[in-house]
Amino acid sequence: MEYFEDVTVGDAATVGEYEVTAAEIVEFAEGYDPQSIHTDEEAAADSPFGGLIASGWHTAAMTMRLLVDDYYADRAALAATGVDELRFLEPVRPGDTLTAEIEVRETEPWDDDRGLVRSAVRTTAGDETVLTMEPLVLWRRAGD
């Protein structure tokens, strides 16, 4: 288990692969972002995007899945206090495979039990950067 004291500015990792499907794009959008570019392939084909695209919120959720499964799982991360600088840079389409990169930018003590870690995250689909964000995550401190 990696604790707050083990985290160093500059630590970096590339995590996971997540294949995006049309069915998942539509299912997520119908529940949370029901715009036609996310829910209706025919309407999306006539949009400026030329086809179905994932909601940015869906892209953020898929990124979170990659981070939880392949990065935070072996670490003493507790919860996020927020996300700064969230950007949806390019559309995510059915058939894309997402990968996320995370790099620690800052660490600071929060209280006796926790520390705050600010990281930079970049999600890619092939050579395209599709999302960037800076999560602020509380980590458990190592006990005595």
**Which domains are delineated in the chain?**
4-140 (3.10.129.10)
- 3-state class (DSSP) for residue 66: helix
d(CA 142, CA 136): 19
pLDDT over 70 percentage in the chain:
99
Q: What is the pLDDT of residue 134?
A: 98
What's the pLDDT band for 144 if we cut at 50, 70, 90?
low
Q: Is residue 114 pLDDT above 80, yes or no?
A: yes
d(CA 138, CA 98): 25
Strand bridging mode 114-125 / 97-109: antiparallel
Strand bridging mode 114-125 / 77-88: unpaired
Burial of 92 (0-12, 13-18, 19+ CB in 10 A): buried
Q: Is residue 40 pLDDT above 80, yes or no?
A: yes
The single-letter code of the amino acid at 3 is Y
What's the pLDDT band for 143 if we cut at 50, 70, 90?
confident
Q: Which of 134, 131, 135 is nearest to 79 (CA)?
A: 135
Question: What does the DSSP 8-state code read for residue 46?
Answer: T
pLDDT over 90 percentage in the chain:
97
Average pLDDT along the chain: 97
